[in-house]
Amino acid sequence: MKKYIQPLLPVLTLYIVLLGAGLSIPGLWQPIAFIMFYVVLGQALNMFLGMTGYVDFGYVAFLGLGAYGMALAFSLFTDDGLGSGIIVVGFLMAVIFSILLSMAVGAIALRLRGAYFAIATIGVSEGFKYLIEGARLWGGSEGIIISSQLRDSFGSEMANYLSTFASDILIFAIGILAAILTVYTLHTRAGYALMALREDEDAAKVMGVNVTKYKVMAFGMSAVFAGLIGASAWTLKLTYVFPEDVFNIIYTVEAIVIVMLGGAGTLAGPVVGGLIYGILRYYLATVLPGFQLLVVAPLLVLIVTVFPDGVVGYIKRKLKGSRFSKYVI
C-alpha cells in the first residue's frame, strides 16, 4: 500500500489546497476550476502519451464524444423519469463512446510507429467535426443544448448548482481517480510493459512484451478519462455542445504542452504542467487578451530543447537515490 500512497501524497495535497482555496477565497473558484480543467486534461493524455511515447493528435475527439454522450443522454432520456440517474447514464454513454472510438482508431492506427501514428490520428477529430456538421448528425452544426432539459430534470436552482459548482467538483474527482489509476498502473506488469515499449519497442517485443495489447490498453484508458472530462467540463458545465467547440485541435495541442512541460510518463507531471499552464493561460487572458494561445508554441520549443524531461522529470532525476524519491514518480 505504502508504495501507492507515498507518490500520491504530493498530488492529493495539491488538490486539497486548490479545493480549499477555491471554496474559502471569494472569486477564486472559477480560476481554479479553469486551471483544474487543464490539470485533468493533461492527466488523461499522459495515460497514453506519457506511458507509451506516442503522440495522439486526435485526442480531443474523445473529449468531444464524451461531451456528446452526456448531451445525448439528456436529449434522449429526460422524459423517462431517471432523476439524477440521468447523469450516470450520460457518463456511461460518454465512456462507451470513447471506448468504441479508441478501439476503432487503436486497432488500425496503433499498428503504425511513432510519427506515422501521430499523422494518422490528426484526421480523427477533424473528421468527426465534419461528419457531425455535414451529415447533420446529433443536431449538426447547431449542436445540442441541454439547459431546458437540465431544468426539467433538476429544477432551475439545482440545474444552476450543477453547472456552476458540481461539474467542477466532478473534475476534481476525475483528477483524483486518474492519479490513483496512474500510480496503480505504474506498479503493475502493464506499467513495466509500457515503460519498455516507450523506451525501445523492438527490444520490448523481443523480451516478450505484447506491445500492441498494452498500447491499445493505454489508449483506451486515456480515452475514457477524456470522455469523462468532456461530459462534465463541457456538457454539464456549459449546458451545450457545438461541434466546432469540442472538436477543436487546440485542446489536443494544449494537452501535449501540459504533459511535456510537467514530465511525460510521471504521475505528478501533468498536474504540475497543468497548473503552470492553466495559471499562465488564465492570467495572460486578462493581461494580454488574445495572445494567450501564442504562448503555446514558444513554451513547447523551450521545453523540448532545454527541459526534455519536464519539471517533474527533472526533479525525479535530481531526487534519485534520496529518501524523497519515493514521493515523486
Contact predicate 40/228, CB 8 Å: no
Q: How many CB atoms neighbour CB 134 within 10 A?
A: 11
Please list, in sequence order, all residues whose beta carbon lies within 8 angstroms of the beta carbon of residue 297, skipping any fewer than 6 positions away.
Answer: none
Which of 40, 132, 211, 256 touches other proteins by CB under 8 A?
A: 211
Q: How far apart are CA 214 and CA 284, in angstroms?
A: 39
> Residue 227 phi/psi, 5° resolution?
-60, -45
Tell me how far, at minimum, the Cβ of 65 lies from other proteins, in Å. 31
Which of 193, 233, 255, 329 touches other proteins by CB under 8 A?
A: 193
Which of 209, 229, 241, 261 touches other proteins by CB under 8 A?
A: 209
Determine, following the binding rule CB under 8 A, whether residue 205 of this chain makes contact with other proteins: yes
| Contact track, other proteins, 213-232, x by CB under 8 A | --------------------
Nearer to other proteins, 208 or 290 (CB): 208
Determine, following the binding rule CB under 8 A, whether residue 206 of this chain makes contact with other proteins: yes
Nearer to other proteins, 58 or 313 (CB): 313
Q: Applying CB under 8 A, which part among 74-82, 126-134, 181-189, 244-252 lies near other proteins?
A: 181-189
Which of 26, 208, 289, 290 touches other proteins by CB under 8 A?
A: 208
Contact predicate 91/228, CB 8 Å: yes
Determine, following the binding rule CB under 8 A, whether residue 26 of this chain makes contact with other proteins: no
Determine, following the binding rule CB under 8 A, whether residue 202 of this chain makes contact with other proteins: yes
CA 288, 290, 296, 302 torsion-angle sign? negative
| Contact track, other proteins, 250-289, x by CB under 8 A | ---------------x------------------------
Determine, following the binding rule CB under 8 A, whether residue 321 of this chain makes contact with other proteins: yes
Helices (H), the chain: 2-24, 29-45, 51-52, 60-77, 85-109, 114-134, 147-154, 156-161, 167-186, 189-199, 201-206, 211-229, 237-238, 243-246, 249-262, 269-287, 296-306, 310-319
Tell me how far, at minimum, the Cβ of 113 lies from other proteins, in Å. 14
Work out the burial of residue 113: count CB atoms within 10 Å of its CB; fewer than 13 is exposed, 13-18 middle, 19 or more buried.
Answer: exposed
Give residues in contact with other proteins (CB under 8 A). Answer: 187-189, 192-193, 195-196, 199-200, 202-211, 265, 320-321
